[in-house]
Structures are given as C-alpha cells and as structure tokens.
Amino acid sequence: MKKLDEIRKSLDFYVKSNELKKKIIDDLNNYSVADNLFSSMILATTIDSEFKETKNLSKIYRMLFLVEFSNLYPNYDFENLKLGKQYVREIVEARDMNTEAGKLVFKYKMLDFLLTKLIKDKENNILPSKLIKEGSIIISSLCSKQPSECEEIFKFYYLNFRLKNKVRTGWDSEHWNIKSNRIETISEHIIGTLSLAMVLNSEFEYNLDIDKVLKMLTIHETGETLIGDITPFDGITPEKKKEIEHQAMIDALSSLKEKDSLLTLLYEFVEQETPEAKFSHYCDKIEADLQAKIYQDEGMLHSLDDQKNSVVFNSSRVQQMVKDGVKDVFDIWYEWDKAIYIGDNKFPEFINMLKIARDNNLLHLDKVVRERINLTGEEHYFLSKGLTHTITELYKDDNINSIYLTSYQDSKHSKGTLNLVVLLESGADYYTYDQLMEKLNSGIANSNKTGVNVAFDCSYENKYSIIALNPSEVHRVEELVESTILFDKTGRMNSVKKAMKKYNHLYDFYLVDYIPPIDETISSKLVKIK
C-alpha cells in the first residue's frame, strides 16, 4: 500500500533540508550550514568515543540538525509530522540550554567554530604536530580534560574536516558537469542522508534502532576522508572499491577508544545485512538520486546532447539507455538505481519516492503529485476502446451535459483510478442515473483485467456553478483544473475550468499520467460527436 501523504511530507522535508546545503554561513571559507552541521556531529561522535558525555548521541544529532532547520524555516509546522511534537521539544531544549543535552549541543557548535578558525588560519603555516597540539588544547578547555586526552579527537575531526572541502565527484566537470559555481560537498551529502532518515523514521514508524542508523550515517563516508568519492563510472570494480574503503576506514579511525565498535558499524553499513544497515544504505543512495533531481529541476543539469564528453557516457549501460529513449539525465538516474529498491517489502516507500521524484518537480510538491504508469498495448486498447464506446452512448442522452475524466492515485489501487464524472441537467432524476452508474461500474469491473480501477460517478452540473462554501465543494471544483473534459454541451464546465486556473490554490491531488495517455486517446476518438 502506498502511503502517499507520508511520502509527500518526507520529500517536502528533504527538499527544505536541502536548502541547508545552499545557505552559506561562512562566506570566507564558503561553508554552508550543512557543512558546519556535519563537523559538529563528527565532534559529538568522537567526543562520545573518548569521554561518553551523553547517553543519547542520536538525540544530539537531531537537536543540532533541527535547530538549524527551524532557523531556516521558523514557520515550519513540525506537528504535521508524526514525531513533530518530539522534534519541537528537542528544538526548545537545544535553544534553552537548560539540560545537559542542550549544553552539549552548544558546546559542539562552539568547538566546531573555534577549530574551524584554527585550521583555516594556521594549517598552512605551522607543522601538523603543532596544529594537533593547539587543537587538542582548545578541545580540552571545553571538555575539562588534559590536552593529551583530546589528541585523537582532533585528529579524527581534522581528517573529517576534509569532507567540507571535497565536492561529490559525481557532480564535477568530468561526470554530470553541474552548471553551478558551487556544488555539493561530501559533508553536505551526509546531512542530506540524516534528514531523510529522520523524516522517514517519523512518517513510516519503522521498528528500527534509529540511534544506530543516525550514527551509521554520520560516519558512513569516513573512508572518503582518505580516498575521496569513487563513482561507478571511475573504472574501479565494486570489489576493489570495497577493499580500499575498508583499509581507509581502519586508517581513518586510527587509535580512537571506540575504534572497534565504529568499524563494526561501518562494516555493517557496507554489508547491508541488518534492517538498520539496509535502511541507511537506501537513505545514502536515494539522497544522491534526489539531489540529482533537484539539480535538474533547478536547471543545473545539461541536456543529454551536452553530456557526450562525460565519463558517465562511456558506460555501455548508459549508452543503451539513451538508445532506448531516455529523455533526460534523471531518467538515467532512475533507470540505473531503481533496481536497488524494487521488491523490498520492508521499505517499499523508497521506490515510490523515486517514482514521484521522476514524475514531478521536487521544488513544487505543495499542489499536485503525479505518477507515471505505463500501460501495455492491450491494456490501453481495452480501456480507451471500452470507455469511448460508453461515453459515446452517454452523449446521446439529453439529460447529460458533460463528462470529465480524472486519473488519480490512491492507496487502494496500485495502478490508479480513472474517474469519470457525469454531469446532469438540473431536472434529471438523480436516482435513475445513480443506478446507471452502478450498472456501468459493475459491467466494467467484470471484464477489466488491467489493474486500473474505473469508476463512473454522477452529479448535477449546476453544483459546479455555486460558490464553494466548504472543503468538499472547493475540492470538487478545483478537480476540474487537473481533469480532461471529454465533452461539454453547454460550455459551462470549460468556463469553470478556465476560471479556476486563475487561482493558484489546489488541494492535495495525487494524479496519474498513463503512458500511452488514456484521456488524449478518448478525446481524439470523440471529436466526431462534439
């Protein structure tokens, strides 16, 4: 069952979180809010390894993130999320700093600020050993420890600091060649994965150890501090990549007290054998998919014709996709990654999120969400032929003024519903036509093997001319904006539709675009009767 509202809320939260990557908070160093969020979380992770300052590290991660999110969106309605009340409490706790967790959040942010300044001011002017000593002194002063106890914390922090300066390889000029002066860093990607994990855990109420998930995602790119970001197009086999990543993880964790447990967590992420690891892996993969779609929706991706010099297009698999007729860059992303999520009954929302991303502009999910559903030739022929015949007969009835068609998605029918609304003259006997609709629905249901639900309804045409006084009336009239009017004898429905298009206000519609289109086929066949 598709949970469309939950998917929509999750995508909306992610898109808003994505703005943390673009909000530059450090102009001198070109660091975003997300960059600094990541390094604060690394400090929290490393200090937890050495000193165990908190019993709930994932809460610290959330508080760090949620405060920055709420600063960017002060009017965001958190209570629209299932865990929203908890999130609001944690935001207040972080801002008030009247609990241990709130004080720790402030400390980690302050430490990150001080250490960033130290690194940017001195890393090119003093020996690494001297930099480590000065960094350790800063940490010790805020953690009430000896500088020698803080050296491993600074080393690991300094290593991960590189991820704030490393762009995601997939977006560079040799790969997808994003048309922007500033592209996503690895640290910003990590924050994107955490935002997805938080909102998906809220909306789908998984039976997961979310504490483990958030910690896993915070450190899941640890190997890239030493080897960089390796894409599937860089000529390195998955086996070789795994080998060098494992060694990089070992080297990066160095002599941290919790090295063994952190390594175990990283290996668990790589092997994907636990629900937490698989969920984290999905968050990691789909974050890249969604970032690609945002770049496309912002107009930052080149057309396929302009990608010929990209190493991506050296892939025989990508070349075949182009031959098969992919229309744009995200179609390639979709075709490449969809197999990751298809068939997973534990986390079915990931493939549904990917489909919604493919079929919609992610920057405009507040009105209508569409899903593209492909029909076989046989399915398309059955539906268009049968419905055209029925509508042609209904046109002959003088009591029927118009019929419009809406293709929508819901949680009951995986291939959507074709809803045909028959509008009557005011003097027509409603009971007679209500019985006729039942007869039509029953007849179609008995012969329909397509999986697409077909539903005829009837109403009076004059209901669409009255002032909408309640949400159901508003929804009914606004539905016309996203519908196809198959015929309109009086012209009133076309007038209403034209008028409604002027208002940029629509209720939540989950629509289907059938390929080939059913509405266009029926309309073309009805030309002779209009």
The three-state (H, E, C) secondary structure of 251-262, written as one string? HHHCCCCCHHHH
The pairing of beta strand 368-374 with beta strand 509-515: parallel
> Is 425 buried (19+), middle (13-18) or exposed (0-12) by CB count in 10 A?
middle
For the chain, the distance separating the N- and C-terminal CA atoms, rounded to the nearest angstrom, is 39
| Phi and psi angles of residue 411, each rounded to the nearest 5 degrees, phi first | -80, -10
User: The domain 4-362 is classified under which CATH number: 1.10.3210.10, 3.30.70.1110, 3.30.70.120, 3.40.50.1820?
Assistant: 1.10.3210.10
Residue pair 156/42 in contact (Cβ under 8 Å)? The answer is yes
Residue pair 188/32 in contact (Cβ under 8 Å)? The answer is yes
Closest CA to 476 of 490, 497, 498: 497
Average pLDDT over residues 79-91: 96
Neighbouring-strand partners of residue 24? 32
**Tens of pLDDT along 362-414?**
999 877 899 999 999 999 999 999 999 999 999 999 999 999 999 998 778 88
What per-residue confidence (pLDDT) applies to 410? 79
- Calpha distance 312→320 (Å, rounded): 12
Average pLDDT over residues 478-505: 87
What per-residue confidence (pLDDT) applies to 513? 95
The amino acid at residue 401 is N
Pull the structure tokens for residue 222.
């640890």
pTM value is 0.91
Residue pair 499/472 in contact (Cβ under 8 Å)? The answer is no
**Tens of pLDDT along 173-230?**
888 889 998 999 999 999 999 999 999 999 999 999 999 999 999 999 998 887 766 6
| Statement: residue 257 has pLDDT above 60 | yes
| Half-sphere exposure of residue 445: CA atoms within 13 angstroms, side-chain side | 9
Residue pair 38/187 in contact (Cβ under 8 Å)? The answer is yes
User: What is the chain's length?
Assistant: 530
- Calpha distance 391→398 (Å, rounded): 13
What per-residue confidence (pLDDT) applies to 236? 72
Peptide bond into 128 cis (omega under 30): no
What per-residue confidence (pLDDT) applies to 467? 60
CATH fourth-level superfamily of 374-529: Cation efflux protein, cytoplasmic domain (3.30.70.1350)
Closest CA to 407 of 526, 514, 516, 524: 514
The larger pLDDT score, comparing residue 368 to residue 235, is at 368
What per-residue confidence (pLDDT) applies to 360? 95
What per-residue confidence (pLDDT) applies to 224? 83
Residue pair 62/268 in contact (Cβ under 8 Å)? The answer is no
Using DSSP, state whether 469 is helix, strand or coil: coil
**Mean pLDDT across the chain:** 92
| Statement: residue 1 has pLDDT above 50 | no
- Calpha distance 40→54 (Å, rounded): 15
Q: How many distinct helices (H) and strands (E) make up the chain?
A: 21, 8
What per-residue confidence (pLDDT) applies to 235? 67
Q: CA angle 394-396-402, nearest 5°?
A: 55
- Calpha distance 161→24 (Å, rounded): 17
- Calpha distance 273→260 (Å, rounded): 19
| Phi and psi angles of residue 57, each rounded to the nearest 5 degrees, phi first | -65, -35
Letter string b/e over residues 143-158, b meaning 16 or more CB atoms within 10 A of that residue's CB: bebebeebbbbbbbbb
Q: List own/partner pairs for 473-481 with CB under 8 A and 24 or more apart.
A: 474/507, 475/507, 478/503, 478/505, 478/506, 478/507, 479/406, 479/509, 480/404, 481/506
Domain ranges of the chain: 4-362, 374-529
- Calpha distance 161→185 (Å, rounded): 11
Instruction: For 295-412, list the strands marked E by DSSP.
Output: 368-374, 400-408
| Inter-CA distances, 12 with 38, 87, 138, Å | 21, 16, 39
Residue pair 212/56 in contact (Cβ under 8 Å)? The answer is no
